[in-house]
Amino acid sequence: MTRLAGSSKLLRAMNASAALAHLLDAGGLTRADLRRLTELSTPTISEVLRRLTEAGLVTVVGYHSGRPGPNAEIYAANPDAAYAAAVSVRDIGTSGAPSVVAALADLTGTERARIERRVDFLHTDPKTALIDVVAELRETAGVAAEGIHHVQLGVAGSYDPRAETIRHVDVPGFARPGLVPEIAAALATRIGVDNDVNLAAVAERRRGVATDVDGFALLWLGQEGLGLAIDIGGTLLRGARGGAGEIGYMPLYAPDSTHRKVDLQDLVGGAAVLALGRDHGVPGRTPLEVVTAAATEPDRAGEFFPQLADRIAVGLAAVIAVLDPSLVVLAGPVAQAGGETLLAAVTTAVRRAAPLESTIAVTTIDDDAVLLGALDAGLTAVREALIASIRDNQA
Amino acid sequence: MTRLAGSSKLLRAMNASAALAHLLDAGGLTRADLRRLTELSTPTISEVLRRLTEAGLVTVVGYHSGRPGPNAEIYAANPDAAYAAAVSVRDIGTSGAPSVVAALADLTGTERARIERRVDFLHTDPKTALIDVVAELRETAGVAAEGIHHVQLGVAGSYDPRAETIRHVDVPGFARPGLVPEIAAALATRIGVDNDVNLAAVAERRRGVATDVDGFALLWLGQEGLGLAIDIGGTLLRGARGGAGEIGYMPLYAPDSTHRKVDLQDLVGGAAVLALGRDHGVPGRTPLEVVTAAATEPDRAGEFFPQLADRIAVGLAAVIAVLDPSLVVLAGPVAQAGGETLLAAVTTAVRRAAPLESTIAVTTIDDDAVLLGALDAGLTAVREALIASIRDNQA
DNA sequence: TAATTGTTAGCCAGATTGCCAATCACGTCG
DNA sequence: CGACGTGATTGGCAATCTGGCTAACAATTA
């Protein structure tokens, strides 16, 4: 139900933003391409491009030769018109992985800087740490402060956008109310916060196995916990308080109460994987090591993968029954270490347990999925803000 | 990302459709009201209304007196511009309820006809039965065949819109591929098919307890089966093959394999309710009778409701963990019979089991929720089609 | 030569502002 | 108590302005 109404000014703004949207999507387009895409006339396209070029949002990036007539100019969105920054924060935990990974991308999506830091948030204020990281990103890439239009934060927790507060975080200091607005004020940018698993799903949709799917669920098997992201037609399901996908806490039904109350975290969380490894004589001190060891020598791991798969299938069966996704993606360090062996085991286990058939796949993203997803999310935020600002301001 | 581009014709169409959208939503508006809502100038509003009136979509329904100046004309969408029909089909089963309930509503949403029929689909072709019902609706309301723009069908099953086929239906004859297109061709209307529980959720959103909620889950406790509808911001989640919410088939985790594989249907389905009633000495031959008896004399039912609630909570805990809805609505005959007693029991059971807190409520719709939801769904389809046709045809 | 690119000129559709007549409520005066 | 003036409001008309379109044209390259 479009309720947009207005005068010719609205029209001009709409046409400009439509053209910009196409340029952002396609990358490089000639006037003739835009004419076909927007169904506008040549003079109008010229006028729109003239205005967008004047505003610094669009530039000529090349010429299309080899055909009769003058070489057509190829227009593209100006990479330096706006930047998006992404910061992925995680608890250091037992692994030696850096606790802050950050990257900066220009409007076209090319990564211009990336840094990794170990930050001890017990002794460092998140606010100053994040501001410093973003400043360092800017220096590395040589970008002015005003250039960054959006900073996307990824944390292992949920974000309540109404209260502007991060909840269910383990990293010290991040749960403080008022933190996010303060950072936004200090950086003078819009700031977005999202769950790390959600952001991994964004990356999966843009560059992974879920590019052409109308909806999918991503099960994240991490070193400690597990998480679920739900993508419905490209938008993520967050739930009332950002708690959608917290299946780690999903209680499992016990027919008689002699069993103590167990949830899915007890079944497939890091500790459970470790214990399962011990039971089957698979070596390794961390869940990742255990799964890697089992995957490299599947014959010696015995029933390790089938049993792990059976447990994963318990959670996936519930997810599939509720959501009926066309694709289920296994991601996270444990899933990636398990690889094809784990995938095969989970596929058979789910086929046995779940009422509906869903394709199951392992992520194809080798890089830091959370960071890439944060970058993608920040980028789309920047693009949408640009398009909206054209529609509103140029009135 | 709006990519709409065009010339002044698009503008006119947009303004007309915006005005119509407001008129459909608000009911009766003066020119001044529309001026405020659309932010268009007086001459433009006049022109738009003139065109809409000429097209027969809008009429003057009254005059606004009691204020200085001439009595302002009150415009409203013409009720007779289009009609929507709704047909709810269910298996007769053990109850004596009619198997086909149908209604007809005009564009403003007032019900103009309703009929109920018992149809034996073992000996009657669904196609002819449905065509007859719609014809009867038309006669009762005195509406021409072309007046009906949309027929909404509600069935206990799922609809695959790509294959245009109904799946997982118990009612004989409805699973036949090609049935829906044939009915659409015979009636010469658009036809929509949806799951009955989904439609009940539509009604709940429009006239029930879920009017102001950003998303909710509706658990349907029927005479036989159970179902789940998921509303996210007003749109229903259907899943890849229309199988979202089929939690009846959700398998339950058994810690050891000595228990046979049980799913949620075994736990809270009609048969389970009957058995539970027997165990607690609650009289009744159908699940509805059992629950009604228990609700009228809660003291004599003992642990019936707490135990039933515990079982319901098993399913709801999974739903809440996956979706984090801000509201969970209990609906369907069994839930309505259980009333406040059941609600209280379920609330405490869920609070104990589920990781997140969700408000739980019982439906407030006394009428046939599925039928009303189908009517609402058909009506919005008609309205959107009207608005879209203005935007496209008046070019 | 033919096809293609991009510009300029004139035209047209549609929305806006400003102006005006008509209408009604309300207070005041005869 | 009734008639009348005042002010607010409605709705129409004319003039203006913005913006996109068609058509013609110059320029360029296979």
Is the pLDDT assigned to residue B1 strictly greater than 70? no
Q: How far is A262 from chain B (nearest CA, A)?
A: 10
Q: Do A283 and A330 fall into the same domain?
A: yes
Partner B, chain A 247-276, Cβ-Cβ below 8 Å = 247, 249-255, 259, 262-263, 267
**pLDDT band at residue A97, thresholds of 50, 70 and 90?**
low
Which of A322, A328, A382, A389 to probe the B interface (max B CBs under 10 A)? A322
Which of A253, A265, A382 to probe the B interface (max B CBs under 10 A)? A253
Is the pLDDT assigned to residue A385 strictly greater than 90? yes
| Domain endpoint, select from B48, B77, B106 | B77
Instruction: Report if residue B395 sits inside a domain.
Output: no
Q: What is the pLDDT of residues A217-229, one digit of tens each?
A: 999 999 888 999 9
Q: Is B325 in CB contact (< 8 Å) with chain A?
A: yes
Instruction: Report if residue A333 sits inside a domain.
Output: yes
Considering only alpha carbons, which residue of chain A is nearest residue B356? A243
Instruction: Report if residue A289 sits inside a domain.
Output: yes
| Beta carbons within 8 Å of B291's beta carbon, 6+ residues apart | B273, B277, B284, B334, B337, B338, B342
Tally of structural domains, chain A: 3
The pLDDT of residue B96 is: 55
**Element holding A89 (H helix, E strand):** strand A83-89
Mean pLDDT check: name the lowest of A256-260, A350-354, B36-40, B189-193: A256-260
Q: What is the pLDDT of residues A254-297, one digit of tens each?
A: 554 444 567 889 889 889 999 999 999 899 899 999 999 999 98
Rounded distance between C-alpha atoms, residue A145 and residue A82, angstroms: 11
Smallest Cα–Cα separation from B150: which of B369, B365, B389?
Answer: B389
Is the pLDDT assigned to residue A98 strictly greater than 70? no
Quick one: DSSP state of residue B175?
T
Instruction: Report if residue A2 sits inside a domain.
Output: no
Q: Do A217 and A112 fall into the same domain?
A: no
Most confident option among A26-30, A279-283, B334-338, B372-376: B372-376
The pLDDT of residue B297 is: 87
**pLDDT band at residue B393, thresholds of 50, 70 and 90?**
low
Q: Do A111 and A239 fall into the same domain?
A: no
CATH code at position A24: 1.10.10.10
Q: What is the pLDDT of residues B379-391, one digit of tens each?
A: 999 999 998 888 7
Is the pLDDT assigned to residue A351 strictly greater than 60? yes
Cα diameter, chain B: 83
User: Crossing angle for the helix pair A304-323 and B304-323, nearest 10 degrees?
Assistant: 100
- Please report, as a single letter, which amino acid is at residue A208: G
| Domain endpoint, select from B37, B59, B77 | B77
Q: Do A158 and A63 fall into the same domain?
A: no
Q: Chain B, 30-89: which CBs lie within 7 Å of strand D?
A: 30-32, 42-43, 46, 67-70, 72-73
Q: Do A60 and A95 fall into the same domain?
A: no
Q: Is B69 in CB contact (< 8 Å) with chain A?
A: no
Task: Calculate the angstrom distance between C1' of C10 and CA of A237.
Answer: 53
Q: How far is A215 from chain B (nearest CA, A)?
A: 7
Q: What is the pLDDT of residues B220-243, one digit of tens each?
A: 999 888 999 999 999 999 988 888
Instruction: Report if residue B222 sits inside a domain.
Output: yes
For strand C, the positions having any atom within 7 A of a protein Cβ are 2-10, 12-18, 22-26
In the block, which residue shows the tokens 């029927």? B222
Q: What is the pLDDT of residues B131-167, one digit of tens each?
A: 999 999 999 999 999 999 999 999 998 898 889 999 8
Q: Is A385 in CB contact (< 8 Å) with chain B?
A: no
Q: Is the CB of A9 under 7 A from strand D?
A: yes
Rounded distance between C-alpha atoms, residue B217 and residue B75, angstroms: 37
Instruction: Report if residue B393 sits inside a domain.
Output: no
CATH code at position B288: 3.30.420.40
Is the pLDDT assigned to residue B363 strictly greater than 50? yes
Instruction: Report if residue A391 sits inside a domain.
Output: no
Q: A123 or A52, which is more confident?
A: A52
Quick one: DSSP state of residue B107?
T
Q: Is A323 in CB contact (< 8 Å) with chain B?
A: yes
> Using a CB-CB distance cutoff of 8 angstroms, which residues of chain A are in contact with residue B21?
1-3
The pLDDT of residue A257 is: 47
Is the pLDDT assigned to residue B249 strictly greater than 90? no
> Using a CB-CB distance cutoff of 8 angstroms, which residues of chain A are in contact with residue B15?
5-6
Is the pLDDT assigned to residue B4 strictly greater than 80? yes
Q: Do B72 and B89 fall into the same domain?
A: no
**CA dihedral sign of residues B121, A321, A208, A160:** positive
Task: Calculate the angstrom distance between C1' of C5 and CA of A296.
Answer: 60
> Using a CB-CB distance cutoff of 8 angstroms, which residues of chain B are in contact with residue A353?
251
Are A322 and B326 in contact (CB < 8 Å)?
Answer: no
Q: Do B214 and B306 fall into the same domain?
A: yes
In total, chain A counts a number of residues equal to: 395
Mean pLDDT, residues B327-346 taken together: 95
Mean pLDDT, residues A188-204 taken together: 97
Q: Do A51 and A186 fall into the same domain?
A: no
Mean pLDDT check: name the lowest of A224-228, B363-367, B368-372: A224-228
Q: How far is A313 from chain B (nearest CA, A)?
A: 10
pLDDT, mean over chain A: 91
Q: Do A213 and A298 fall into the same domain?
A: yes
Query: Which two three-digit tokens encode residue B269?
Result: 């389905």
Nucleotide nearest to A44 (CA to C1'): D20
Which of B266, B324, B327 to probe the A interface (max A CBs under 10 A)? B324
**Nearest CB to A244: which of B242, B323, B387?**
B323
- Please report, as a single letter, which amino acid is at residue A31: R
- Please report, as a single letter, which amino acid is at residue A3: R
Is the pLDDT assigned to residue B354 strictly greater than 80? no
b/e burial code for range B254-279 (CB count within 10 A of at least 16 → b): beeeeeeeebbbbbbbbebbbebbee
Is the pLDDT assigned to residue B259 strictly greater than 70? no
> Using a CB-CB distance cutoff of 8 angstroms, which residues of chain A are in contact with residue B323?
230, 237, 239, 244, 322
Cα end-to-end span (Å), chain A: 22
Mean pLDDT, residues A233-247 taken together: 89
b/e burial code for range B164-191 (CB count within 10 A of at least 16 → b): bbbebbebebbbeeebbebbbeebebbb
Structural domain boundaries enclosing A120: 81-200+370-386
| Domain endpoint, select from B42, B60, B77 | B77
Are B250 and A3 in contact (CB < 8 Å)?
Answer: no
Q: Do B296 and B275 fall into the same domain?
A: yes
Q: Do A115 and A183 fall into the same domain?
A: yes
Query: Which two three-digit tokens encode residue A313?
Result: 């299938």
Instruction: Report if residue B322 sits inside a domain.
Output: yes
Q: What is the pLDDT of residues A136-150, one digit of tens each?
A: 999 999 999 999 999
Mean pLDDT, residues B38-61 taken together: 96
Q: What is the pLDDT of residues B71-80, one digit of tens each?
A: 999 999 999 9
Task: Calculate the angstrom distance between C1' of D23 and CA of A59.
Answer: 29
Considering only alpha carbons, which residue of chain A is nearest residue B312? A253
- Please report, as a single letter, which amino acid is at residue B62: G
Rounded distance between C-alpha atoms, residue B268 and residue B248, angstroms: 9
Q: Do A106 and A185 fall into the same domain?
A: yes
**Helix (H/G/I), strand (E/B), else coil: B387:** helix
